[in-house]
Structure 1
Amino acid sequence: MTLYVSVTLVFLLLFYFCSCSCSSLSAAATSFATDESFDVRQHLSTVSRYGAGKETTIGSYVPSTIPEGCNPIHLNLVARHGTRSPTKKRIKELDQLAIHLDELLNEAKRGEKSLPQKIPSWLSGWQSPWKGRLKGGELISKGEDELYHLALRIRKRFPELFNEEYHPDIFSIRATQVPRASASAVAFGIGLFQGNGTLGPGMHRAFSVTSESRASDVSLRFYDTCETYKEYRKSQEPAVDKLRDPILEEIAAELVKRYQINFTRQDVASLWFLCKQEASLLDITDQACNLFTASEVELLEWTDDLELFLLKGYGKSINYHMGLPLLQDVVQSMEQAILAKEENHKPGTFEKARLRFAHAETVVPFTCLLGIFLEGSEFEQIQRDEPLSLPPKPPLPRIWRGSTVAPFGVNNMLVLYQCPGNASHSTSASKGYKREYYVQVLHNEIPVPMPGCYNTDFCSFEVFKESIVNPHLKHNFESVCTAQAKEEFPSPKPSSIASKLLKFIRSFFQRDSYGSTKINQKNDGEIIGEVSTRILIPVRTREKNMNENFFTSLKVTAILTFTVLKIFCGQS
């Protein structure tokens, strides 16, 4: 009876966890277009347009109310370029896709007078919208519009910061040497200074955008100058592929059944890329995107989010520690603004905004340095340089989404406020400040909580430095990026319901005992865990045979549990 109950319990738990965590690709194969509540443009990860991620808030967080009498005195902006066209390499990939699709369609209708009815009509004779283009990667008009209107909104939101005559020392605008970044800076500047000049009907004015060479730009292109990071990224790309490939294989099999076309894993990857480009750049959602169901789109989005997490985000501390020069530049600019206020410098003699335009590889590490998009004890983990568990697989909810963390035009703003009151009763007293200074952090123009600042978006400048900035300063760019790596870069452990079940099984078996049995499972290079089966053996010999059968059955049950998990829950 005990054996029956134990085995039944394990399999009931297995069924429950797998039903929650495993994808339901075998469900009704309907396209997302039939579901009016599903907008694929909100599921394009880092290819999402700015508007798709801008309105997304972090949970149910309610922004702080700025105290009366507090006024902004300085603004830092770190932004990604706006929506761009596909790069030259990707344009070639789409040209090859067109050729391959034609071959697949010819194969599908071989021996038939016409194509099977299940095949979407747009596939026949499809050509890439960028066919014949010799260049790519430039900012498109939608991207110009994103940055232009971002500037208008910022100026309206903080009029006290932009009410002075333009000077490059007061409004510093910096960009990388990549044309789409500098073009984004120009589009932003046109909006920011519109009406303040004498050029044309819009009363525009000229302004300067400065850049450093790619080889020496450690503030905005640290990922290009950090040798250790480049080594890490190269070592981790195969691990990312191992996480993505099973999903692509699974979806390819579904597409073959659905459309009777022999799509491969690479075809799925190319069609997903085409879907993202069509939906984001051209607002076309009824072609490539319509090949996939909503659940398939969410899985493909998740694989993109995993890559962002592992190669640019919290997956490894090198990803964000290399961005320390940018964080230090931000803090230094705020300290200079405070000094100017404390010494009563005249208006027009000190900087009021430092505006930077770069790339996702710049903004995401900076976001991680601030500790945004963390849950529970994860902030303490990153301060100990520990990698975080991977974002959970759909349909489980997750806070790390590329469409929110790093869409086109993504931006982090740090607004420095001067507040009235006697600083002698605050942390500012130790610095001898006459007034109090606070920092508000906004992600995509929305105030976001910082775990290092008591989970608020409005934080004392000294607390901000002490809790968020200083713990990172035990590192520096030189030590992080020029030292030879002394360890292999392990892959983070997946965070999934299946892995939690493995922990449960471990605790179920782990008791005070006289012996143990180990079950080791190899997962294509990924260690998924070791279960120790430790069972207290009764001393009464008359129960010996019964207990031996009981223990053997439990061992077999555990092995079967692992096998089913690997097959059905994506652990292999």
Structure 2
Amino acid sequence: MKTILLMLIIIIEIFECKIQQDYLCISDQDDQMIELKSNEHCGSKTSYLTARYDRKLLLERDWHLNNQQCKPIYLYFLGRHSIRFPGLKEIIKQERLMPKYAKIISKNGTKLSNGIRHDLHYWTLMYDQTDQYHVTLSGKYETQTIAKIFYRYFPKLLNVDRIDVSVSRKIRTRETAWAFLRTLYDIQTPNSNKHTLKWDNKLNKMVSRHKIVESDLLMIHERCKKFGSPKEGKSAKYKELFHSLSFDKMRNDFSQRNGIKNEENFTIEHMYLLKSLCCYEQAIYQQSPWCSLFKPYERFAFNYLDDIKSYTDAYGYGINRKMACVLIADLRRKLIMARDDPHSINTTLYFGHDHLMYRLFSYLNLFEQFPHFKYDRNGQICLPINREWDSSTITPFGTNFVAILYDCDEDDDQKKLLTLVNENVVEIPGCTNGFCPLDEFLNYYEHLENDCKIEDICRLPES
């Protein structure tokens, strides 16, 4: 009996050690903190350039851009819109609650620096309800940077005269497309007086003549709602974590540390709203006094909470996974057209939303590894430190999936396909690697011509 108890104790100790190595237990003890990823990570509200800076493998390191045997002949770009302002409901909450908390914390938050207390004392919301969902100036700048990056990779393909552009019906995708196109026009139209008002008016007319089409393809994540199957929402795991004792303890520690009194009725929902405002201001203005109120593990915990929701949206429902087949079917048709007609368009640019990217990544079995949280022996929740599904790096503002068709002379006119996510080479089903013969891809997805109808998919039972 003693031997069995001893073995159980050893097993428990091993398990506890494993948790300490691979998991972060929510605690107020700073000495348990580990080196987390960039403190600027904010889930899907992270800026693309922040995520790009933290990625170690970029296309320039993975792929030889000056490959003499293979020439890029077609580019398929599917991107999320860039940095935007919050939606109307969230702006109304911020207008109602944030001025109150700014005054309380600036007055009572004794552990804050004088600079942060000063910034909170004079803080005002720099946008209003008329800005809802519009792309910010920082978003337009970031889109311009992304356009320049891909133009540097594929200058011959991003010729504005041979590009098709489609957006969703949401204004933020149209404004992102506009910024992307305007950058390409700016690069390709030589003019010594580009910064004059006359040049701006001329450029605006040129871009406005470029046909930007609204496509239902980019709103497939909403199509099933017509059939009474929203297939979105907060999972049981999300609710378990959000309403856990560990999260309530985190809220209490936060409120005590920042001088929020009990009578203020400070809830975990309010703490989440403060964190969301921190993320928006950080993405929009590159800084926010609200971010200084959070310890790294608190932001880490909220990021993981958001990832539960997005991962469930992607992998939790069979219908959500299946509906992304329309994107791959569309890609397949575009690749066949580019292969058979060398005079067709050089590039397809699509601008959509994060929910669209979730479904696409799920359909392609990308970033599938996502460990669930655990409990230690004291009932404390412990969150996994490393996971593939991390929206801060895979679905930030401006995230993109790109497929490039190559003509390789060395293989008797063999066409090959390169697939990328955020400039990193990825291997997708139907290809033996990230750079595979086109026929492999076309043959693998040939069934989609008959088996990919949204109306039929939306009527399927949940799985």
Q: Which TM-score bucket, shorter chain as reference? A: 0.7 to 0.9
The code of the aligned residue for 2:94 comes to L
Aligned-residue offset at 1:173: 0.9
Name which of 410, 433, 439 aligns with 1:462.
439
C-alpha distance in structure 1 between counterparts of 2:187 and 2:334, whole Å: 27
Aligned to 2:415: 437
Q: What SS does structure 2 have at the residue aligned with 1:233?
A: coil
* Larger relative contact order, structure 1 or 2 (CA cutoff 8 Å, min sep 6): 2
CA RMSD of aligned residues (A): 3.5
Matched, 1:396 2:385: yes
Aligned ranges 1:43-192 → 2 under 5 Å: 43-57=41-55, 63-65=62-64, 68-98=68-98, 100-101=100-101, 115=108, 117-118=110-111, 121-122=117-118, 125=121, 127-130=123-126, 132-162=128-158, 166-167=160-161, 170-192=162-184
Structure 1 residues 228 and 314: alpha-carbon distance in aligned structure 2, compared to 1, 3 A threshold = farther
The code of the aligned residue for 1:480 comes to I
Aligned ranges 1:411-490 → 2 under 5 Å: 411-421=400-410, 423=412, 435-450=413-428, 452-454=430-432, 456-467=433-444, 474-481=451-458, 483=459, 485=461, 487=462
The code of the aligned residue for 1:354 comes to T
Aligned to 2:6: 5
Aligned-residue offset at 1:271: 1.1
Count of residues in Structure 1 that have an aligned counterpart in Structure 2: 434
Deviations 1:485-530 (A, max 9, x none): 3x5x6xxxxxxxxxxxxxxxxxxxxxxxxxxxxxxxxxxxxxxxxx
Aligned-residue offset at 1:389: 5.8
Aligned-residue offset at 1:77: 0.5
**5+ residue gaps in structure 2?**
375-381
Aligned-residue offset at 1:105: 6.2
C-alpha distance in structure 2 between counterparts of 1:472 and 1:6, whole Å: 58
**TM-score of the aligned structures, taking structure 1 as reference length:** 0.67
Aligned-residue offset at 1:359: 1.3
C-alpha distance in structure 2 between counterparts of 1:154 and 1:94, whole Å: 36
Matched, 1:258 2:251: no
Answer whether contact 1:413 1:441 (CA < 8 A) is retained.
Answer: yes
Structure 1 residues 230 and 27: alpha-carbon distance in aligned structure 2, compared to 1, 3 A threshold = farther
Aligned-residue offset at 1:340: 1.2
Aligned ranges 1:162-561 → 2 under 5 Å: 162=158, 166-167=160-161, 170-197=162-189, 201-202=193-194, 204=203, 205-206=206-207, 207-212=209-214, 217-227=215-225, 231-234=229-232, 236-237=234-235, 240-246=238-244, 248-261=247-260, 262=262, 263-285=266-288, 287-311=289-313, 313-341=314-342, 349-374=343-368, 390=372, 394-421=383-410, 423=412, 435-450=413-428, 452-454=430-432, 456-467=433-444, 474-481=451-458, 483=459, 485=461, 487=462
The code of the aligned residue for 2:14 comes to L
Q: What SS does structure 2 have at the residue aligned with 1:332?
A: helix
- Once the two structures are overlaid, the 10-residue window that deviates more, 16-25 or 195-204, is 195-204
The code of the aligned residue for 1:413 comes to V
Aligned-residue offset at 1:452: 4.7
Answer whether contact 1:75 1:352 (CA < 8 A) is retained.
Answer: yes
The code of the aligned residue for 2:45 comes to V
Q: What SS does structure 2 have at the residue aligned with 1:355?
A: strand
- Larger helix share, 1 or 2: 2
Q: What SS does structure 2 have at the residue aligned with 1:138?
A: coil
Aligned-residue offset at 1:70: 0.9
Aligned-residue offset at 1:81: 1.1
Aligned-residue offset at 1:26: 2.0
Aligned to 2:378: none
The code of the aligned residue for 1:117 comes to T
**TM-score of the aligned structures, taking structure 2 as reference length:** 0.82
